[in-house]
Structure 1
Amino acid sequence: MEEKIYVRLKKKTEVDHNHLLILEDISYLTGNVTNLNQFSKIPIYQITDSDKNVSVIDGFVLIDKLIKGFPHISFELIGPNQVIVEIKKENKKHNIILITFIWILLCVGSAMAIMNFHYDVSMQEVQKSLAYILTSEEVDKPLWIQIPYSIGLGLGMILFFNHIFKKRFNEEPSPLEVEMFNYQQDLDNYLIFHENIIKRNDD
């Protein structure tokens, strides 16, 4: 019976700087060969400084290298056609001052956006009109409407994003998570088409 190895590339993997990629780093293997574990240790590509933050390995080029190295074994590629190799950066200490500045900037910006929206739609006039309809009294500051409204606005944002700090309310992804996922998909597709793919002469 013909010896065959099925190679399923990982969609993405992360390695250290100047790491020597072996086959198990970028793929899953199965087949009818007796020494399958030895094949998982085959060196594939040496990460260098020229790779910068990411490298893309093409499945066709990988299979071509394996066939040349082991002509008596049949290799078949299944699943993704490329694997994105992300190269870890050196861990840097978090700058508390920078984090605090960004946090304050985001909070102020969000507050300004909400206030400008309420001003554009004349929210105060709407609330005064609503208070008049319900009580038949004209008041300049219907706090019994404005305070619950403000609390509800904050709770609504928490429910919308489905998170409070690290706690998730349910397994359903939030709209922000869906958008981040779509962005990551587009970014991965861009990398596949534009980043450095290993060449046939990299032996």
Structure 2
Amino acid sequence: MGDVVYIRLKNYIKATEKQKLMLKDIAYITGNSKFIPRLKHTFIYQLKSSDQKYIVMDIFTVITELHEQFPNIEFQPVGPNQTIVEIERRKRQPNLLAVTGIWILLFVGSGMAIMNFHYDVSMQEVQQKLHYMLTGEQQKFPLWIQIPYSIGLGLGMILFFNHVFKKRFNEEPSPLEVEMFNYEQDLNQYVIMKENKVGHKDDHP
């Protein structure tokens, strides 16, 4: 064999419909080969309209394709054995009415959840007793406790999720981001096991 080239497949990429996938799109390559610039632009697979939302590129298929085009190069795989390709279809404009309806539904639902929680733990009675303990007076609506509590509840949620719209307070991931990451890991594992894998190479366009 000649030069050695090391290939590390990317875990996950996004591609447009009917895009031609080159080696540089799905993998990182390195080595002492003078062919690396050519290797980066080596054709691997042509996405088709019949492809589903996800396809899986296997390292065996990639190396087989490369060996046919570069028989004198030794290819050594490192890292992941599959690349998940998500095909982004043409996006439709969001329906303003539907977005507004979903926003109202989530807003009312979250508000009801907070109110039901406070009712279950008798939050108003607790605040009334706290007011009585501190002032010695009975008060049905101790606003000097309820108002700061309501503000603190909102601020606490903002700090908990570590976001104000697109602004982050620090680099630490929020619990929601961690859960989304775990979900994506499980989804990727499912795609690798269940979704369609690209096997033998198709004819070049």
What TM bracket, shorter-length normalisation?
over 0.9
Q: Alignment partner of 1:51: what SS?
A: coil
Is 1:15 aligned to 2:12, yes or no? no
Q: Alignment partner of 1:75: what SS?
A: strand
Amino acid of the structure 1 residue aligned with 2:119 = Y
Distance across 2 between alignment mates of 1:139 and 1:32: 80
Distance across 2 between alignment mates of 1:149 and 1:163: 20
- 1:53-132 to 2 correspondences below 5 Å: 53-132=53-132
- Aligned residues of 2:56 and 2:195 also touching (Cα < 8 A): yes
What displacement does 1:201 show? 5.7
Amino acid of the structure 1 residue aligned with 2:37 = N
- Structure 1: runs of 5+ lacking an equivalent: none
What displacement does 1:70 show? 2.7
Amino acid of the structure 2 residue aligned with 1:190 = Y
Distance across 2 between alignment mates of 1:37 and 1:2: 17
- 1:21-36 to 2 correspondences below 5 Å: 21-36=21-36
Work out the number of aligned pairs and report it: 203
Distance across 1 between alignment mates of 2:199 and 2:167: 45
- Aligned residues of 2:65 and 2:201 also touching (Cα < 8 A): no
What displacement does 1:133 show? 0.8
Amino acid of the structure 1 residue aligned with 2:182 = N
Amino acid of the structure 1 residue aligned with 2:51 = D
Distance across 2 between alignment mates of 1:83 and 1:196: 12
What displacement does 1:67 show? 2.5
Amino acid of the structure 2 residue aligned with 1:177 = E
**Equivalent residue number for residue 188 of structure 1:** 188
Amino acid of the structure 1 residue aligned with 2:130 = L
Amino acid of the structure 1 residue aligned with 2:103 = W
Distance across 2 between alignment mates of 1:93 and 1:201: 35
What TM-score do the two structures reach when normalised by structure 1? 0.94
Deviations 1:10-64 (A, max 9, x none): 1111111111211111111112221211122221111112212111101122223
Q: Alignment partner of 1:140: what SS?
A: coil
Distance across 2 between alignment mates of 1:121 and 1:82: 50
Distance across 1 between alignment mates of 2:166 and 2:127: 35
Deviations 1:165-195 (A, max 9, x none): 1111111111111111111111111111111
- Structure 2: runs of 5+ lacking an equivalent: none
Amino acid of the structure 1 residue aligned with 2:108 = V
Amino acid of the structure 2 residue aligned with 1:67 = H
**Equivalent residue number for residue 157 of structure 1:** 157
Amino acid of the structure 1 residue aligned with 2:195 = E
What displacement does 1:202 show? 4.2
What TM-score do the two structures reach when normalised by structure 2? 0.93
- Aligned residues of 2:8 and 2:27 also touching (Cα < 8 A): yes
Amino acid of the structure 2 residue aligned with 1:34 = K
Amino acid of the structure 2 residue aligned with 1:110 = S
**Equivalent residue number for residue 40 of structure 2:** 40
Distance across 2 between alignment mates of 1:36 and 1:108: 57
Is 1:138 aligned to 2:138, yes or no? yes
**Equivalent residue number for residue 169 of structure 2:** 169
